[in-house]
Amino acid sequence: MELKWLLFCILMAMDGLVMVAAVTKYIEVKRASLWAGVPGKITSSRSEARTIRSTSGTGRDRTEDTEIRNFATVGYEFHADGKKQTGNRISIAHDVGNYQVAEKLAKYPVGAKVTVFYDRNRPADNVLEREMSMRGFEITFLIGALVAAVAVLAMLLTENVGAIVAQYVPQNGRTSGGIFVAVMASLMVLFANAIYRRGQATFTWPKVEGVVATSQVDAVRSHYMRGNGFIYYYHLFRSRTVYDYGVNGVEYKSDRASYGAQTYASFTVLAQREADRYVAGDSVEVYYDPKSPENAVLVRGAPGQWLVWVVAVALFALAARLIGLI
């Protein structure tokens, strides 16, 4: 299969998955609009830290890791079908964590009277908020349609674009590969700029005293898929410092040291050196986002971001080499 067709299939598959997820959630929201509403009462309301799986890397090389996120955990009770039912789901929207924790806890304090919406056929399916903005679905569908249209248009114009580029670069049979690498380099620049901007924002964040819960070296699993489809698994090591802090009476937990790129080491000694900077029980200065206190760091800025810029420059150099400009 030609490279352009492979990229086209990958892009359309990813776009299709996003569209299917959006349609599935849209159907769920529509069904929830028919749920019955009954009086209920809040029985518990607190912040909760959960360990969430995350994946980094692209293409054949991926690393499976975890991160700590904060959630508003609200419990409530109500009566349906002559029985007392319980629930803990606030909204029909999916909660990814680290979003409006304090606002949700303030909205649903213990003892508050609420309206609970539940499925008559399955009372275990219940929420406090069944409405969800249709604007998000509209934007998702629009972006999905635009991505598909651009992908199709790119395929139709590939030959013409290649002919135009061929007028200005040497013909060495590697031009298409060079263009692909140049696109990847451009995406890397956008990623590096995002890291830089986020890191710079932390210099304006207020600080609060926190306490180190643990500081250790964690092993994470990484895998690489070979050309023959065989997946090679191996382990990498990273330092992980978990700390607790409070803002306006709400307790939070985080394991984000900074907004710099997460680094992994092949040997524990390298990761241990970073972990040894903090000791469990020590007080630390925590810098938090005033608009979203769930997001915090121990180190301002984005240490190590220069590595991303170096990769971007290297990719541009490789693209120029493949095209024949250097």
* Neighbouring residues of 125: CB distance < 8 A, sequence distance ≥ 6: 35, 118, 119
> What six digits make up the tokens of 18?
């996003």
| Average pLDDT, integer, range 299-306 | 81
So what's the pLDDT on residue 5?
64
So what's the pLDDT on residue 58?
56
Q: Which of 153, 106, 84 is nearest to 250 (CA)?
A: 106
pLDDT in tens, 46-62: 999 999 988 766 556 67
SS3 112: coil
Distance CA 61, CA 308 (A): 17
Of the listed ranges 15-19, 32-36, 37-41, 85-89, the one predicted with least confidence:
15-19
User: Is the CB of residue 244 less than 8 Å from the CB of residue 253?
Assistant: yes
So what's the pLDDT on residue 211?
96
| Average pLDDT, integer, range 211-236 | 78
pLDDT reading at 321 higher than 80: no
Distance CA 53, CA 62 (A): 13
So what's the pLDDT on residue 203?
93
Distance CA 298, CA 285 (A): 6
Question: 30-132 adopts what CATH topology?
Answer: OB fold (Dihydrolipoamide Acetyltransferase, E2P) (2.40.50)
pLDDT in tens, 91-141: 888 888 898 999 999 999 999 999 999 998 888 899 999 887 666 666 777
Band of pLDDT at residue 298, cut at 50, 70 and 90: very high
- Please, what is the average pLDDT of the chain? 82
pLDDT in tens, 135-183: 666 677 777 777 777 767 666 655 555 555 555 555 555 666 676 777 7
Q: Where do the structural domains in the chain lie, given as residue ranges? A: 1-29+133-168, 30-132, 174-200+304-326, 201-303
Distance CA 253, CA 47 (A): 9
